[in-house]
């Protein structure tokens, strides 16, 4: 019998979406997360982005999980503003990011501050029992 933590580590290393099954998840079944750290420099330039982006996220099936809020640094430099959004899969996340609606807003963010952003696929919705 494999212990829960070992099963979890094994599932992550194999890219398995569920610990109950043994087949790797299809890309369409794996949620994707947009993660960003944003350091605002110019609030006026940022305003159109701030007002318009939530509508584009919703339009493309995304939801905000984290949008700002207080952060507490545990190691290293404290992060700036953190944003995490969830999309159904990587294709959906990329459709949002490359959409005409979001592409029109992106330059406002890029001119108003410094961003570090990326997509990451998620494989588990919860830790194993």
Lowest-confidence segment of 46-55, 61-70, 91-100 by average pLDDT? 61-70
Gap between the Cα atoms of 89 and 44, Å rounded:
33
Say what the pLDDT of residue 78 is. 86
Say what the pLDDT of residue 33 is. 96
Half-sphere exposure of 32 (CA within 13 A, CB side): 21
Gap between the Cα atoms of 109 and 52, Å rounded:
11
pLDDT at residue 128 is higher than 90: no
Say what the pLDDT of residue 21 is. 41
Chain mean pLDDT for the chain: 82
Residue 70, SS3 per DSSP: coil
- Which of 27 and 39 is assigned the larger pLDDT? 39
Tell me, rounded to whole angstroms, the distance of Cα 109 from its chain centroid.
Answer: 17
Say what the pLDDT of residue 26 is. 59
Domains of the chain, residue spans? 33-72+85-124
Say what the pLDDT of residue 25 is. 55
Provide mean pLDDT across the span 61-84: 92
Could you report the per-residue pLDDT of 108-127, keeping only the tens digit for each?
Answer: 999 999 999 999 998 755 55
Say what the pLDDT of residue 1 is. 44
b (16+ CB within 10 A) / e for 14-23: eebbebeeee
Structure tokens at 71: 């952060």
A 10 A CB-CB count for 99 gives 15
SS3 content of the chain, % helix, strand, coil (to 5): 40, 25, 35
Say what the pLDDT of residue 119 is. 96
In this structure, are strands 32-40 and 81-87 parallel, antiparallel, or unpaired? antiparallel
CATH topology of domain 33-72+85-124: Alpha-Beta Plaits (3.30.70)
Could you report the per-residue pLDDT of 2-30, keeping only the tens digit for each?
Answer: 444 333 333 333 343 333 443 455 566 89
């Amino acid at each position: 019998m494999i212990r829960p933590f070992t099963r979890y580590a094994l599932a992550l290393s194999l890219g398995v979406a569920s610990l109950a099954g043994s087949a790797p998840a299809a890309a369409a079944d794996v949620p994707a997360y947009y993660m960003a750290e944003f350091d605002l420099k110019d609030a006026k330039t940022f305003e159109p982005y701030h007002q318009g982006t939530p509508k584009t996220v919703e339009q493309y099936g995304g939801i905000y999980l984290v949008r700002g809020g207080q952060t507490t640094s545990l190691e290293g430099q404290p992060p700036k503003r953190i944003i995490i959004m969830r999309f159904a899969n990587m294709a959906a996340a990329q459709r949002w990011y490359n959409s005409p609606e979001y592409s029109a807003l992106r330059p406002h963010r890029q001119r108003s501050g410094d961003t570090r952003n990326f997509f990451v696929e998620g494989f588990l919705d919860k830790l194993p029992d």
